[in-house]
Amino acid sequence: MNKITSTLLYSLTGAAAIASLSSCKANKEAEPAKKMNIIYIMSDDHSYQTISAYDQRYIHTPNIDRIGNEGVRFTNSFVANSISGPSRACMLTGKHSHTNGFINNATTFNGDQLTFPKLLQQNGYQTAMIGKWHLVSNPQGFDHWEILPGQGDYYNPTFIQMNGERTQVEGYATNIITDKAIDWIENQRDENKPFCMLLHHKAPHRTWMPDTCDLELFADKTFPLPENFYDNYEGRLAAQKQKMNIANDMEIVYDLKMADKENEIHSGMYEDWGRQMYGEGRMNPAQKAAWDAHYDPIIAKFKKDKLSGKALAEWKFQQYMRDYLRVITSVDRNIGRVLDYLEEKGLLENTMIVYTSDQGFYMGEHGWFDKRFMYEESFRTPLLVRLPGGKKGDVAELVQNIDYAPTFLELAGIEKPEEMQGESFLPLLKGEKVPEWRNSLYYHFYEYPAEHSVCRHFGVRNERYKLIRYYNDIHSWELFDLQEDPSEMNNIYGQPGTEEITQELKAELKRLQEYYDDPIRNEVIVE
């Protein structure tokens, strides 16, 4: 081979190699981006006040905080209807309660309607739902589901399988739900498909039963009473009617676990349920032994002290806070397990992780426990989202749980159906400015008459003001300046100087009712 031939051959070979490399690069660039997985973790009744990313007075939650530290903390996240089942229906459908049909816990969710898991499933995602469902009808749109019946149990819970079988699993619910979620990701899913996992904890729902390993936590800690613990509800008629006051309505046996073996302590209509939950029928011998070792001395001291009045109310508050925070500790620990597993398996950087609650909860504010009201503690909910490659820091825009479905769909490249009323906040997660983002929120609560006696109401909230209209049982208005009165103690509706803002809010309330097509606007006229 002469020099010219050799040089030519080399040039052709080199050119072919370069062309081949260019072709490989082009093909690689042409490959569609791998769709991101979604893990949506939701607890039941977890107050934002008891997440240290939001409030450091009560507890340190390093694993929940990690989601926000590595992603976004929403500082103005709210629900559309502050009660468990309806809130879950709003999340699944992206629609307000009056549109999805599940207005209170006495109704049954119509699973035939469109939900984001169905759309994800139809577009190549594997979908799974594990934990608390609380929608009466069976889940639809999931390749795999295992759910607690109703509220479920903390100890040795029963799970309903997809085939209808019911299986009792020994252990503590928060641990078991996490075990099942990790097992599905590890052993049951198709690794060639993106997945969406709904991991729904029962905790920290009433009656706040801690895991045995957490029973002694916070035992020596005294928590500060909220400044409005002894609220007299002046100027707020609906607040005067409620039955969720710690002093008057929190039950000694059922809620606070004073189920003495002598059967000498009696309190409230749920006493028998409490004794059953805290008895050997629900717990195994080892669990019962640990339980009794912790609570028997507390019961004995309670019987000896014979507390009454303010002393009893404040004892109830401390006992409530300790048990509630013990349960939160278990939730946080198990979220740490999920994060560690994802990191170990290399899934962390291709998975959106969401942590939230189905609504907020009262930690003694206004003297209350539970939720339901449009007041901040129950209307507002924690929302922490880790989006790989996304924004880090706070997002202050007003978001609502009807926005979750559109957000997950946009992440998956699926167009939002017209019937969904929420808006995708994916651009906010990416750090983009959304100039047309909403500046007000609509709320509607329906469950009355019912437990806790919170009257039906609807309302509007903007960045500074909140206007609430109670109806059906009572007819009254409440107006709050959240800047001047963040604890919502002073109803300024009808006071001189509020005329202009009242009319503005009423106009906005009418607009939202029309925009969301709430039929209540034809029954209770906003004037």
Q: Which residues contact 63 (CB under 8 A, 6 or more apart)?
A: 332, 333, 335, 336, 339
Question: What gap in Å lies between CA 363 and CA 227, rounded to an integer?
Answer: 12
Residues 6+ apart with CB under 8 A from 132: 44, 147, 148, 151, 152, 200, 201, 202, 205
* Beta strands per DSSP E along 378-456: 383-386, 393-395, 399-400, 440-445
Q: Would you state the pLDDT for residue 339?
A: 98
The edge-to-edge listing of strands for the beta sheet with 195-200 is 166-168, 158-161, 144-148, 126-132, 195-200, 37-43, 351-357, 383-386, 72-74, 393-395
Predicted pLDDT at 451:
95
Nearest Cα to 425, choosing from 61, 75, 47, 70? Answer: 75
Walk me through the domains of the chain, giving residue ranges and CATH numbers.
Answer: 37-209+325-433 (3.40.720.10), 215-319 (no CATH), 457-522 (3.30.1120.10)
d(CA 85, CA 83): 6
Three-class SS of residue 66? helix
- Residue 110 pLDDT: 98
Degrees (nearest 5) of the Cα angle 374, 461, 441? 95
Residue 372 is classified by DSSP as -
What backbone phi and psi angles, to 5 degrees, belong to 477? -115, 150
Three-state DSSP state, 465: strand
Type of residue found at 3: K
Nearest to 199 by CA among 181, 214, 215, 216: 181
Instruction: List, in sequence order, every residue forming a beta bridge with 144; answer none if it has no partner.
Output: 128
Residue 373, amino acid:
F
3-state helix/strand/coil string of 95-129: CCHHHHCCCCCCCCCCCCCCCHHHHHHHCCCEEEE
Report the 3 state secondary structure along 431-446.
CCCCCCCCCEEEEEEC
Of 449, 475, 452, 494, the residue nearest 366 (C-alpha): 452
Helix/strand/coil for 261: coil
Burial 461-471 (b: 16+ CB within 10 A, else e): bbeebbbbbbe
Identify the pLDDT of residue 302. Answer: 98
For the chain, the farthest-separated pair of C-alpha atoms sits apart, in whole angstroms, at 110
Angle between helices 62-69 and 309-344 (to 10 degrees): 60
**Residues 60-118: pLDDT tens digits?**
999 999 999 999 999 999 999 999 999 999 999 999 999 999 999 999 999 999 999 99
Q: Number of helices and strands (H, E) in the chain?
A: 15, 16
pLDDT tens digits, residue range 474-504? 999 999 999 999 999 999 999 999 999 999 9
- pLDDT for res 223: 98
Q: What is d(CA 318, CA 223) in angstroms, rounded to the nearest whole number?
A: 6
Q: Which of 346, 377, 347 is nearest to 359 (CA)?
A: 377
Rounded Cα–Cα distance for residues 53 and 423 (Å): 25
The residue type found at 430 is: K
Report the amino acid identity of residue 418. E
Spatial distance between the Cα atoms of 31 and 166, rounded to a whole number of angstroms: 44
Segments of the chain with pLDDT less than 50: 1-31
Element (H, E) at 38: strand 37-43
Q: How far from each other are the two terminal CA atoms of the chain, in whole angstroms?
A: 98
507 residue type, one letter: A
Closest CA to 427 of 447, 410, 413, 409: 410
